[in-house]
Amino acid sequence: MDWNIVEGNWKQFKGKVQTQWGKLTDDQLDVIAGKRDQLAGKIQESYGVSKDEAEKQIKDFEETNKDAPA
């Protein structure tokens, strides 16, 4: 999954991200705006996980959604 595409189509991906990480608020998702590093940070904050765990979760999300239309 190309995060430039995610960033450019954030409104479409936002729902998928919120489904995956339900603790993230709309305001947090607006701040993230498709930026992978911002997403990792918010996952760490909201779920109390390590940076490595947040990255693993994002990687799993990418694999699950790799065929998602842009």
pLDDT at 69: 59
d(CA 10, CA 25): 15
pTM score of the predicted model: 0.87
pLDDT at 68: 67
pLDDT tens for 12-50 read: 889 999 999 999 999 999 999 999 999 999 999 999 999
Domain 3-64: CATH superfamily is YjbJ (1.10.1470.10)
pLDDT at 58: 95
Which whole number is the average pLDDT over 49-70?
88
5 pLDDT above the threshold of 60: yes
pLDDT at 42: 97
| Token pair belonging to 47 | 């779920």
